[in-house]
Amino acid sequence: MFLTHARIALPDPASVVTPLCAHLVEHEAVVETGPGEARIALAGATATLRYDDAQLEVAVEAAELAALASLRFAVASHVVEFAPEGKRLRIHWEGDGAGPSLLPGFRLLTVAAIETVTPHMRRIHFAGEDLARYDSLEALHVRLFIPPAGLAEPAWPMLGEDGLPIAPPEDKRPAIRKYTIRSIDAAAGRLAIDFVLHDDAGPGAAFAARAQPGDQVGMAGPGGRGLQSAGRYVFLADATGLPAVGRMLAALPAQATGLAIVEVAGPEEEQALARPEGVTLRWLHRADGAPSGLAEAFDALDWPADGPDSYLWAAMEHADFLRIRAGARERLRRDRDRHLVVSYWRAGLAEEQHAADKKAAAAKAA
């Protein structure tokens, strides 16, 4: 086992550890707490946090260095995030994996081919090495590091001795956006990611619009919750969640039953999605400026108490997310892993602000 540890001077560590644990639970961590301590297990690594009134001690162990670095980063970044405003923390890790390094699981990808799936969906095929860790339906999402247009030598992300990212020069700093792996062949070193093209393009859509074979991006992860085994599957998504739905539908067992409801701009944005015969695919069309129909579609669904065990996976804009998540908590079985409802974007907000708002909400709830 690899082991790393740190001591952090911190006033009232309990006020930091509580939201930290709550946030990591949202990312599939298993957390056990007791007086003055917490134990966090996530993705093959375990962190033990012990604290008193003025100090937090953290020890992280794992069988692989990548898993060790990943949980070390998760703990350190959230300690800083939830620390009292204006408090400058000194975090110095000792032991295995100490010192500057690339982000855990970072991979360099090269554009190999470009495919137009629909007028507003572009599929980019990438080549990369050592992709096995990304070949999982339990964690579908990755972070892409998109260099500024025309930059020959971008500054790829590094972690410092504190386990936190080192800020690269602003003119070489890649933009970071979350995407879903649409398909992957780890043995061949290939994967594909679908990009929604927008008129008001952000970094991801702008990259997809200009990408040429040979262009490079960075990738780290994977993360997020994915497919669970169930007797019946229900998927709801807008265009941003469509790549994940497409990947999960193709991976369902042949005998699977269920329903997928996907909302796109119009008939021209519909795609041919591989799926079992027992899974019905229904398309909703939403013109520019029109309200979404996903929440109404969810409200119309039946969830018979004596029916098969159902798993709901839903991803869409924030307003629909709030309504559907509330309905899922009220109408579905209360087991946490039987439904996943997530907000992929929020109208009028950049992705960074949307992510910050979600983290703040998690801290407030904790």
Using one digit for the tens of pLDDT, what is the confidence trace for 43-56?
Answer: 889 999 999 988 99
Distance of CA 6 to the CA centre of its chain: 27
b (16+ CB within 10 A) / e for 9-18: ebeebeebbe
Asked which of 66-70, 184-188, 222-226, 273-277 is least confident by mean pLDDT, the reply is 222-226
Q: What is the DSSP letter of 16?
A: H
Which pLDDT score, from 0 to 100, does residue 61 have?
95
Which pLDDT score, from 0 to 100, does residue 361 have?
60
Residue ranges per structural domain of the chain: 2-98, 102-223, 232-365
To the nearest whole number, what is the mean pLDDT of the chain? 87
Asked if residue 89 has pLDDT above 60, the reply is yes
Q: Would you identify the CATH topology of the domain 102-223?
A: Elongation Factor Tu (Ef-tu); domain 3 (2.40.30)
Indicate yes or no: pTM above 0.85.
no
Alpha helices per DSSP H over 126-241: 203-210
Which pLDDT score, from 0 to 100, does residue 90 have?
86
Of 140, 337, 112, nearest in space to 251 by CA:
140
Interatomic CA distance for residues 130 and 228, integer angstroms: 25
Helix (H/G/I), strand (E/B), else coil: 122: strand
Which pLDDT score, from 0 to 100, does residue 308 have?
75
Which residue matches tokens 């039987």? 338
Asked if residue 42 has pLDDT above 70, the reply is yes
Asked if residue 105 has pLDDT above 90, the reply is no
Q: Which CATH class is domain 2-98?
A: alpha beta
What is the band of 349 on the pLDDT scale with cuts at 50, 70, 90?
A: low
Which whole number is the average pLDDT over 283-305?
Answer: 85
Which whole number is the average pLDDT over 289-297?
Answer: 85
Asked if residue 196 has pLDDT above 90, the reply is yes
48 against 65, higher pLDDT: 48
The CATH architecture of the domain made up of 232-365 is: 3-Layer(aba) Sandwich (3.40)
Task: Note the maximum CA span of the chain.
Answer: 60
288 against 182, higher pLDDT: 182
Instruction: Work out the percent of the chain whose per-residue pLDDT is above 70.
Output: 92
Which pLDDT score, from 0 to 100, does residue 348 have?
55
Of 189, 186, 185, nearest in space to 109 by CA:
189
For residues 5 and 57, the answer to whether their CB atoms sit within 8 Å is yes
From residue 298, give the alpha-carbon distance in Å to each of 272, 292, 313: 23, 11, 11
Q: What is the DSSP letter of 278?
A: E
Which pLDDT score, from 0 to 100, does residue 251 have?
93
- List, for residues 227-279, the tens digit of each pLDDT value: 888 889 999 999 999 999 999 999 999 999 999 999 999 999 999 999 999 99
Asked if residue 166 has pLDDT above 70, the reply is yes
Which residue matches tokens 């599957």? 233
- List, for residues 29-38, the tens digit of each pLDDT value: 899 999 999 9
* Highest mean predicted confidence (pLDDT) among 134-138, 158-162, 282-286, 351-355: 282-286
Which whole number is the average pLDDT over 74-80?
Answer: 89
Which pLDDT score, from 0 to 100, does residue 140 have?
86
Which whole number is the average pLDDT over 279-299?
Answer: 88
Q: What is the DSSP letter of 326?
A: H
Which pLDDT score, from 0 to 100, does residue 223 have?
79
Asked if residue 41 has pLDDT above 80, the reply is yes
